[in-house]
Structures are given as structure tokens and as C-alpha cells.
Amino acid sequence: MQTLPAVARLYVCLVCLGATVTMLLGPYTGIDPRRLVLLAVLFVIAESISTMVDSGKTGISPSSSASLAAVVLVGPVGAAIVGFSSCLVLRRQGAVKRLFNGAQFALAGYAGGHAFQLLGGGRGVPDPDSFPWIVLPFTVATLVHTVVNALLVAGLMWCLGVVRFQRPRKVRWRPLATLELSSIGYGMLGLFIAAIWNAVGAFAVLLVLLPLFIARWAFDQYVAEQRAHDATLATLCQAVETKDYYTRGHCVRVSKASVMIAEELGLHAERVHTIRYAGMLHDVGKLGVPTKVLQKPGKLTEEEFAAIQLHPMRGFEIVREIGFLDEALEGIMHHHERMDGRGYPMGLAGKEIPEFARIISVADAFDCMTSTRSYRNARSVEEAFAELRRGSGPQFDPEMVDALIRAVGRDGWTTPDVVEPPDDDVAEVAQQDHDDPSAPLRVAGEKE
């Protein structure tokens, strides 16, 4: 409690006070205590199996179905008690958080209950004849419950300074909408649980919760597998880079810069996800280029330059069987195309070049310039910007360059530490870098 700001403390106290008053005032007449306890137990179980999304900040839980069933079966005051039982959730949680969660669920249940009764929903197990009209007051009750719940939590977040009023474009609506829709969906189940309560009692709720519990388990498996996949992908890409000591971490940083550009451009979340992989994998084909070519200090012969030009195709060859990549494949294949059509491997120009390739191209050059190479020190971010602006038009897509400069200007960029290659035969250093726009590869027979 001490760590909370004063406003948040006041807010939590107010919410708790409100919940206590509603629960103390009652009335408790006509509420079956056994039913109340059973519902509270179910609520706690449901709340305990909630699925964490957004790395643990918010959770989707089937508890709203228990809460809404309470609205129908035991009325507003009963629903408040059931909601308050959320304090007892079986999870590691601080006392203040428990108390606040309990109080806000109690208020949401109370409000939902009153909405239901106001529209003539009654109390107790609904009569089969009351279908389908009972759905109307129930839907309103569900909406009221969801809205009160969301407002109370948003209020706390605002007091804590986590949420500020942002430009609407910056708010991520999709996850929020998914969260609220699923909560309403679970809420609607509450009515049907209430309807079959007489036949089999709490057993019905267990039957509903079992698939949800298994879904949560499968979802956890999915998240774990996704993490494992990402970790493996990153590690394997880095293993490819161990060939050249100075390019270590290059793929991870290009991936990061590509994501920054993509987010700045407002790309769809799924495409941002894909470009993260594309950035990671963009140079995987470099392994097909013989080491002696990569490390050659002087001018390259035509054949050697051709070998370097082949690396995007090689990369494409390696990863094309990875099903989900689709758009990323184009990005990998064309990340060395130039806007004026003088790039490789295809010589595409302007908007013919896939969007992903134009993004990766800028991110690639930016990271190359801001990290140390054996033949030069790292440049500052400003110098790199200047170089990107110079190439903006003939080499880079100005839109992407601007997006990167805006994003880096706002969020900052950590340049890699200066690396000193160890003196063993494993670490090798290249004498030039095909990604470096400030020091292009020198090919014999070309005018300087």
C-alpha cells in the first residue's frame, strides 16, 4: 500500500467502502445460503483458472459466467457477495490487489443484479416459459456488469498512471475488444447455467468449466511452444552469425528495428509479428557465401560479387518451407533491392519491391552503420540518419526512413556494445560488409 500513489490509495479505499456498504445493507431475505456458497466456490475456481494475456497484465477468466449466474439465482446482493469472494482467489497476489479485485467484482455484480431486476428479470431459477424474453434483461445485466468492471479497473490504472489518454490510433483496440467480447460471451453462459441449475445443480457448472479449464491448459501449452519456437529461431539465426564476430546480434537488432518501423506505419499486428521473423532471418543465406569472399579485404571479382548477390535467394531457399512466413519470404528475398532498380537479386524498382523488403532494407542498413566493423568504428545514430536520408529516394523508401527516424526519436535505440574479437581461430572478422551503404562493396572493374 505504501508504494501506491495517494490518488490510487484513495480510489481503492472508495471502491472497497462502496462494496462494503452494499454488502452490509443487504437485504438478505430469501437467499438460499447453500446456493450462495456454491456459487462463490465456483466463482473462485473460475477466477483461479483465468488465462493471462498480454504477459500477465490482464486476464480472461470464465468467472463472469459464475458471476452472472449469481445475478439470476441470488439477486444483486448475492451477486455482490459472490463477486467479493474473488479475494480468496488461489493465486499469488498482494493483499491490496485481492481486496480491490473483490470489491470491484462485488460492485459490478451488484450493478448487474439491479439492472436485471429493474427490467423484470426476477430472482431464482428461470422458468422454461420465460425463454426467450428473459434474454433481454439478462443481456443488459451482462453489459452493465462488463462496463462497471472495465470502468473500475480502468480508473485504477489511470490513478496509477499506467494508462493515459492517448491518440486513438495508438490504443490497441483489437486485444481490448477480444477481452471484452470474451467476457460478455462467458457472461451469457451464466444465464444458461442458471437455467439448468435445478436439474443438476453445480454439476452443470463443472461441465461448463471443464472444457474451459482444458482450453486454458492448451492455451498455456501454445504460449510455451511459441516462446520455445521464438527462442530456437533466434538462437539458430545467431549461430549462423558466429561466422563473423562483428555481426553478432545483427539479426536480432534488424528484427527489432523492422518491428519499430512496421509499428510506426500502423501495420496490422499479425504482419508486425511476421516481420519480426523476416528481420531475424533476412541474412540466413549469407552462409552460402564462401567465408573467404566475406573476409576478402580488397576489391571483389565479378564472380565473388555474384556470390554475395546470391545470398538473399539462398536465404529464401532455406526458409521457404516454413509455412507461416508467406509475406516474410518476399522480404527476405528482396531486402537488397534499391528503389532505383539497381539492387539485387531481381533489380526491382520503386513500389515493385515488396513492403517488407523496403522496411528490412532500411533497418538492415541502420543497424550495420550503428555497429562496429573491423574496418571502422560504429557511427552515431545521427550520422546513420544522415546517411539514410542521403540514400532516401535512390536506395531507400523515404516513407520507411522517416518512420524509422520518428520511431527511434521517440523510443530511442541501444547501439550494441563495442566488441573485441577474441584471439582464437573460431571468431572471424570480415573486412567489408555488404549491408553497409556508407562503404559499398568494391568490385574490380567498376569506376570508383
Partner 1 sequence: MIIQGAPLGMQWRQHHASGHHAQLTQALLIVVTTIVAAVSLLWTVLTGFAEPRAALAFGVLIALGELARIALPGQREVAPIASAGAIGYTFLLTAGGETVHHQAWQVVAVVAMGMVLGELPHITVGRPPRWGDLARRLFIIEILANAFRPLAASLDPRDTHWWPGLGIMALLVVAVWLIDSVIAGAIRAERLRTPLRVAFRDEIRAQIAIGMAIGASGVLIALAGSVMGIAALLVFTAPLLVTQIAFRRFAEIRLTYLQTVRSLSRVTEVGGYVETGHSRRVSRLAHAIGCELAMRESEVLELEYAALMHDIGQLSLRDPIPSGATVLAPPREQRRIAELGAAVIRETGVLDNVAELVRRQCDPYDETTDSPPPLGSRIIKVANAFDDLVGESTDRDRIEAVVQRLRMDSGSEYDPRVVNALARVLERERTDGERTGQFRIVP
Q: How far is the CB of 227 from partner 1 (least distance, A)?
A: 7
Q: Which is nearer to partner 1, 115 or 319 (CB)?
A: 319
Q: Does 275 bind partner 1 (CB under 8 A)?
A: no
Q: Does 181 bind partner 1 (CB under 8 A)?
A: no
Q: Does 285 bind partner 1 (CB under 8 A)?
A: yes
Q: Does 249 bind partner 1 (CB under 8 A)?
A: no
DSSP sequence for 252-292: HHHHHHHHHHHHHTT--HHHHHHHHHHHHHTTGGGGGS-HH
Q: Does 297 bind partner 1 (CB under 8 A)?
A: no
Q: Which of 306, 258, 298 is nearest to 282 (CA)?
A: 258
Q: Could you tell me the three cell numbers for 436?
A: 553497409
Rg (CA), the chain: 30
Q: Are 184 and 143 in contact (CB under 8 A)?
A: yes
Residue 313: CB partners within 8 Å, gap ≥ 6?
Answer: 285, 333, 345
- Pick left, alpha or beta for residue 343 (phi over 0 → left; psi -120 to 50 → alpha; otherwise beta): beta
Q: Which of 273, 250, 260 is nearest to 409 (CA)?
A: 260
Q: How far is the CB of 36 from partner 1 (least distance, A)?
A: 22
Q: How far is the CB of 222 from partner 1 (least distance, A)?
A: 4
User: Which range in 231-239, 261-269, 401-409, 434-442 contacts partner 1 by CB under 8 A?
Assistant: 231-239
Compose the 65-104 pattern: x for residues touching partner 1 by CB under 8 A, - for all others: ----------------------------------------
Q: Are 408 and 357 in contact (CB under 8 A)?
A: no
Q: How far is the CB of 181 from partner 1 (least distance, A)?
A: 12
User: HSE-up of 27 (CA within 13 Å, CB side)?
Assistant: 2
Count residues near partner 1 (CB under 8 A): 68
Among 122, 155, 249, 288, binds partner 1 (CB under 8 A): 288
The binding site for partner 1 (CB under 8 A) comprises 62, 128, 131-132, 182, 185, 188-189, 192, 195-196, 198-200, 203-204, 207-212, 214-219, 221-222, 225-229, 231-240, 242-243, 284-285, 287-288, 290-291, 310, 313-314, 317-324, 345, 425-426, 428
